[in-house]
Amino acid sequence: MKKNNVNNTKIIFMGTSDFAVKSLENLVKNNFDVKMVVTQPDKPQGRKKEICSPPVKICAKNFDIKVFQPNSLKKSESIEILSEINPDFIVVAAYGKILPEGVLNIPKISCINVHGSILPKLRGAAPIQWAILNGETQTGITIMKMDSGMDTGDILFQRKTPVNETETAGELMARLADIGAELLVESLEKIIELGEINKFRIKQNDSLATYSKIIKKENGIIDWRESAVKISRLVRAMNPWPVAFTFLDDKIFKIHKANILKENNLCGDCGELSSRDPAIVCCGKDVLELIEVQIEGKKQMPAVNFFRGYKIGEKIKFKNLFSQI
């Protein structure tokens, strides 16, 4: 590899979500030559199913960068379009699809991925949410040389950060997006300055690997038999999507924010509301104070406001779907 500079280092950027936007912005602001942005096709979203563009596409348009939205990267037409760019690097951040071998072989130097964990921990689609669910006290960003596996490529650079006890997935993702964008530019600059990538490569220890499965709506269901600590992690990990939920009078009841409290001796059955102000729910161990809630068909509101006028004088208990499993 010959030494180069950022101005004539050609890059294809692949990403879709808000997490990826920060990396794209930082590449452009640091004068990297981003020739094309590849992102997923526009999709219907929300109740009205309006067609919406991915955040990365919107960002690319603002920078007047050419956008390519293939349904599949395996098709020969896609390979040809990307190959015509003749990039030095393909940079990937939260693209949402595994790159086929044909794409991995395109760049002159490498395909590089910005991953939201300290690999080999939490390979896979949702490392940020699972870091919170698993009670990790530390996570971070890995800049990785991609191969054909699921986040199995050699580590190039890493940066760690603590997971704050009250941090939601959305808040942690925003922090990691900033860290990833900064580390990406630093990493590329080091590789370009040295004119060599192999010096930075560290093989992953597969025996230490853990995995983070994709988050689905049903992952947000609360099992009130669990401890308040675990339920609190679920609430944080499912915010902003899909939001942790239970059922109240056969309606979906979302919990956007909650705090752990020590054991309440007056507490009753799991899932039972023992106090309205503050709004306290009994768990398998300790209790949970509900802070922000939302019942189906209504707006999000403070929990004390909701329960202050809800079925006054009556016992309130959330339905536990897991009790029949």
Contact 267, 245 (CB under 8 A): no
| DSSP element (H, E) containing 273 | strand 273-276
Residues 82-94, mean pLDDT to the nearest whole number: 98
Q: Which pLDDT belongs to residue 322? A: 64
Span of 30-34, 73-77, 242-246, 307-311 with lowest mean pLDDT = 307-311
172 is a domain residue: yes
Using the predicted structure, report yes or no on whether residue 309 has a pLDDT greater than 90: no
Q: Which pLDDT belongs to residue 7? A: 75
Letter string b/e over residues 9-33, b meaning 16 or more CB atoms within 10 A of that residue's CB: bbbbbbbbbbbbbbbbbbbbebebe
Which of these three, 212, 231, 254, is where a domain ends? 212
In tens, the pLDDT along 48-85 reads: 888 999 999 999 999 999 999 999 999 999 999 999 99
313 is a domain residue: yes
Residues 237-262, mean pLDDT to the nearest whole number: 95
Examine the domain organization and report whether 236 and 307 are in the same domain.
yes
In tens, the pLDDT along 24-45 reads: 999 999 999 999 999 999 998 8
Q: Which pLDDT belongs to residue 6? A: 75
Examine the domain organization and report whether 200 and 284 are in the same domain.
no
Using the predicted structure, report yes or no on whether residue 324 has a pLDDT greater than 50: no
Average pLDDT, whole number, for the chain?
Answer: 94
Q: Which pLDDT belongs to residue 325? A: 42
Which of these three, 190, 212, 234, is where a domain ends? 212
257 is a domain residue: yes
Q: Which pLDDT belongs to residue 167? A: 97
Examine the domain organization and report whether 182 and 245 are in the same domain.
no
300 is a domain residue: yes
Q: At what angle do helices 55-62 and 18-29 cross, to 10 degrees?
A: 20
Q: Any idea of the CA torsion for 49, 22, 9, 197, to the nearest 10 degrees?
A: -110
Examine the domain organization and report whether 159 and 22 are in the same domain.
yes
Examine the domain organization and report whether 153 and 170 are in the same domain.
yes
1 is a domain residue: no
- State whether residue 117 is helix, strand or coil: coil
Q: Which pLDDT belongs to residue 123? A: 98
Examine the domain organization and report whether 194 and 222 are in the same domain.
no
Q: What sign has the CA pseudo-torsion 289, 128, 159, 188?
A: negative
Q: Which pLDDT belongs to residue 5? A: 74
In tens, the pLDDT along 126-161 reads: 999 999 999 999 999 999 999 999 999 999 999 999
Using the predicted structure, report yes or no on whether residue 9 has a pLDDT greater than 70: yes
294 is a domain residue: yes
93 is a domain residue: yes
Beta strand pairing call for 10-15 and 33-38:
parallel
What are the structure tokens assigned to 43, written together?
A: 């999709």
Q: Which pLDDT belongs to residue 12? A: 98
Examine the domain organization and report whether 143 and 250 are in the same domain.
no
Q: Which pLDDT belongs to residue 262? A: 75
302 is a domain residue: yes
Examine the domain organization and report whether 117 and 260 are in the same domain.
no
| Tally of structural domains, the chain | 2
Question: Between 267 and 40, whose confidence is greater?
Answer: 40
Which CATH number do you get for residue 221?
3.10.25.10
* Spatial separation of the C-alpha atoms in residues 231 and 280, rounded to whole Å: 13
Which of these, 86, 91, 107, lies nearest to 38 by C-alpha position? 91
Examine the domain organization and report whether 204 and 271 are in the same domain.
no
Q: Which pLDDT belongs to residue 264? A: 63
Examine the domain organization and report whether 83 and 182 are in the same domain.
yes
Using the predicted structure, report yes or no on whether residue 251 has a pLDDT greater than 80: yes
Residues 280-301, mean pLDDT to the nearest whole number: 96
Examine the domain organization and report whether 194 and 61 are in the same domain.
yes
* Spatial separation of the C-alpha atoms in residues 241 and 129, rounded to whole Å: 10
Examine the domain organization and report whether 19 and 41 are in the same domain.
yes
Which of these three, 168, 187, 212, is where a domain ends? 212
Instruction: Spell out the residues 6+ positions from residue 295 whose beta carbon is closer than 8 angstroms to its own.
Output: 248, 251, 252, 253, 254, 306
Beta strand pairing call for 287-295 and 301-302:
antiparallel
* Spatial separation of the C-alpha atoms in residues 207 and 88, rounded to whole Å: 32
Which CATH number do you get for residue 142?
3.40.50.170
| Residue-range definition of the domain harbouring residue 253 | 217-324
Q: Which pLDDT belongs to residue 4? A: 60
Q: Which pLDDT belongs to residue 20? A: 98
Beta strand pairing call for 10-15 and 89-93:
parallel
Q: Which pLDDT belongs to residue 149? A: 93
In tens, the pLDDT along 164-185 reads: 999 999 999 999 999 999 999 9
